[in-house]
Amino acid sequence: MGRGVRSPALHTFMSNSKNIFREKPEKTDVSVTADSGLVINVPDNKYAYGDTQAVAQIAGNLAAKHSSNSDAAGKRAYEQAREQLETTDWKNERRKRAVARVSRKRPEYMTHFLKDNTGQIIGVEVLLQMTDPNTGFVEYKNLVYSKDELEKLA
């Protein structure tokens, strides 16, 4: 048996102080408004364009294509896109989108206690607001529960 042969490429996978690891956000989305009023959205993720320069350049090219004063509009859109990419907290944006997505699926409601002339609670009126997550259609439903029905539920 001979001595073990060490792979020459093994050192590239070992930790080293020269290795640079960049953390890229999971998903980004840049919105730029062209001179014509057209809103341009350029989505990006960690597997797509890869850097702020490319995303800003795409936004600038699209804004220049769809406006009358092409050079100025392209430069303005390029700067807006770069600024958005550099200043936005993407983890916070991702969390806000997740909360909005979950809240769309759950109905929002308001309750109102029904009382008689003496002040006794005789029932509850519930107003539900349900939003369809796919279409955004909002539906309102009014439900009234008497005191007896509430005792059966509890």
Tell me: pLDDT of 148 over 60: yes
Rounded Cα–Cα distance for residues 110 and 124 (Å)? 10
Coil/strand/helix, residue 89: coil
Q: CA quadruple 90, 92, 106, 41: dihedral positive or negative? A: negative
Please tell me whether residues 50 and 79 are part of one structural domain. yes
Structurally, the chain folds into a number of domains equal to: 2
Tell me: pLDDT of 143 over 80: yes
Answer whether residue 75 is part of any domain.
yes
Please tell me whether residues 87 and 125 are part of one structural domain. no
34 Cβ partners below 8 Å, 6+ apart?
40, 62, 63, 66, 67, 73, 77
Please tell me whether residues 82 and 139 are part of one structural domain. no
Please tell me whether residues 89 and 124 are part of one structural domain. no
Q: Are 110 and 127 in contact (CB under 8 A)?
A: yes
Answer whether residue 128 is part of any domain.
yes
Please tell me whether residues 93 and 114 are part of one structural domain. no
Tell me: pLDDT of 2 over 60: no
Answer whether residue 82 is part of any domain.
yes
Answer whether residue 13 is part of any domain.
no
Q: pLDDT tens for residues 44-91?
A: 877 777 678 888 888 899 888 888 887 888 899 999 999 988 888 888
Check residue 79 and give its pLDDT. 92
Distances (CA, A) of 94 to 36, 39, 45, 91, 148: 30, 21, 12, 5, 45
Check residue 67 and give its pLDDT. 84
Answer whether residue 47 is part of any domain.
yes
In 3D, which of 149, 146, 127, 152 has the Cα closest to residue 138? 127
- What is the greatest pairwise CA distance in the chain? 100
Last residue of a domain, one of 101, 127, 142: 101
Q: Which of 82-86, 102-106, 127-131, 138-142 has the lowest mean pLDDT?
A: 102-106
Last residue of a domain, one of 101, 117, 144: 101
Tokens linked to 98: 């997740």
Tell me: pLDDT of 14 over 80: no
Q: Are 121 and 114 in contact (CB under 8 A)?
A: yes
Answer whether residue 34 is part of any domain.
yes
Last residue of a domain, one of 64, 81, 101: 101
Q: pLDDT tens for residues 86-116?
A: 888 888 888 888 877 776 666 678 888 999 9
Per DSSP, 9 falls in state T
- The pTM of this model reads 0.51
Please tell me whether residues 31 and 89 are part of one structural domain. yes
Rounded Cα–Cα distance for residues 144 and 149 (Å)? 10
Q: pLDDT tens for residues 24-39?
A: 667 788 888 888 888 8
Give the amino acid at 129. Q
Q: Which structural domain range is residue 55 located in?
A: 21-101
Please tell me whether residues 115 and 54 are part of one structural domain. no
Answer whether residue 8 is part of any domain.
no
